[in-house]
């Protein structure tokens, strides 16, 4: 969190980013021991997944009401399907159509099958849900416009900083939204410095910009103010590259920080501190090369 506080200072010191109110909303963490600490409570935020879960519940109740089921007191409500249930409910039949048994490694699943399942799931998910929730949480159009502007700036700033730091594990429970201001708050920084690329299923996207998040950016989407804000944040990070690298180098030598530790059977946990330091040093060199980029081709994300 000290690093995010420093980056916020850089963003406030720049005339361009200060004018756009670009910054990162974070929370304080107070270490108590080597394995315990206190995390600040963040007010007025809900996870994006909880928003989606609420929509699922409403949608299912509406379907049951239309079909005339679930209206009696004795009837048991149908549980809302989990994301994994929805995924496997589509991928298993799709694999069977191709004559593929599910027991094979996920990496060996045909790309066209995975793509088809992804597109089917995207069609079923309401991409306008965050946009609509922000509208419903606003007193009028002026308040709504202010929240959308703040939301776009917040997503842009954290997307660029998260990309530079190699932040992964950005599922919807780790991204919170403040409906009072439109701010995005990211939590759980355990998968950092490109650790996600060493998972069994590697994370290859630089940051999360799925259809639901993109639809709430406003009329221009990823173009317009969002792109301008991303470029402004990258410019500030590049300008202060040396200071940020100096702050990050402490993680190479800090024995309490284990950014590259994998699962119990992961060889990174076997070869010890020397390999951990080498891997993190490589990650820092990747960071140094990333901040040299003036622009990011956002249209591919």
- pLDDT tens string 32-84: 887 888 999 999 999 999 999 999 888 888 887 887 765 555 556 677 888 88
156-184: pLDDT as tens digits:
999 999 999 899 999 999 999 999 999 99
Compute the distance between CA of residue 7 and CA of residue 235 in angstroms, rounded to an integer.
12
For residue 274, pLDDT over 60 is answered with no
> For 94-123, how does the pLDDT look when each residue is reduced to its tens digit (9 = 90+)?
988 888 876 677 778 889 999 999 999 999
Phi, psi angle pair for 266, to nearest 5°: -70, 135
**Distance (Å) of CA 232 to CA 6, 15, 199, 227, 228:** 16, 10, 31, 9, 6
pLDDT at 90: 92
The residue extents of the domains of the chain are: 2-41+126-300, 50-65+79-124
pLDDT of residue 283 exceeding 80, the answer is no
Residue 253 has pLDDT above 80, yes or no: no
pLDDT of residue 152: 96
Q: CATH fold of 2-41+126-300, please? A: 1.10.1070
Quote the CA–CA distance of 294 and 71 in Å, as a whole number. Answer: 58
pLDDT for the residue 198:
85
46 forms beta bridges with 177
For 201-214, what is the mean pLDDT? 92
pTM above 0.85, yes or no: no
């Amino acid at each position: 969190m000290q690093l995010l506080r420093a980056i916020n200072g850089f963003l406030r010191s720049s005339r361009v980013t200060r004018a756009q109110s670009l910054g990162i909303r974070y929370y304080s963490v107070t270490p108590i021991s080597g394995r315990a600490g206190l995390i600040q409570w963040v007010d007025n935020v809900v996870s994006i997944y909880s928003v989606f879960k609420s929509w699922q519940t409403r949608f299912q109740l509406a379907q049951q009401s239309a079909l005339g089921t679930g209206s009696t007191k004795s009837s048991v409500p149908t549980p809302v399907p989990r994301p994994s249930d929805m995924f496997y409910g589509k991928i298993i039949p799709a694999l069977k159509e191709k004559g593929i048994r599910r027991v094979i490694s996920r990496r060996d699943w045909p790309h066209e099958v995975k793509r088809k399942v992804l597109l089917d799931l995207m069609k079923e998910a309401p991409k306008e849900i965050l946009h609509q929730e922000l509208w419903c949480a606003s007193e009028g159009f002026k308040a709504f416009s202010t929240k959308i502007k703040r939301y776009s700036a917040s997503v842009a700033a954290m997307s660029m900083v998260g990309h530079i730091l190699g932040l992964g594990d950005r599922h919807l429970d780790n991204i919170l939204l403040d409906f009072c201001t439109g701010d995005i708050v990211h939590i759980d920084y355990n998968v950092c410095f490109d650790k996600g690329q060493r998972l069994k299923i590697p994370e290859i996207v630089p940051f999360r910009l799925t259809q639901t998040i993109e639809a709430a950016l406003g009329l221009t989407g990823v173009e317009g103010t969002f792109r301008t804000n991303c470029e402004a944040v990258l410019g500030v990070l590049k300008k202060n590259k040396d200071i940020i690298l100096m702050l990050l180098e402490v993680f190479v030598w800090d024995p309490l920080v284990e950014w590259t530790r994998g699962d119990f059977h992961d060889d990174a946990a076997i070869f010890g501190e020397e390999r951990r330091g080498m891997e993190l040093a490589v990650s820092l060199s990747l960071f140094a090369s990333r901040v040299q980029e003036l622009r990011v081709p956002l249209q591919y994300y």
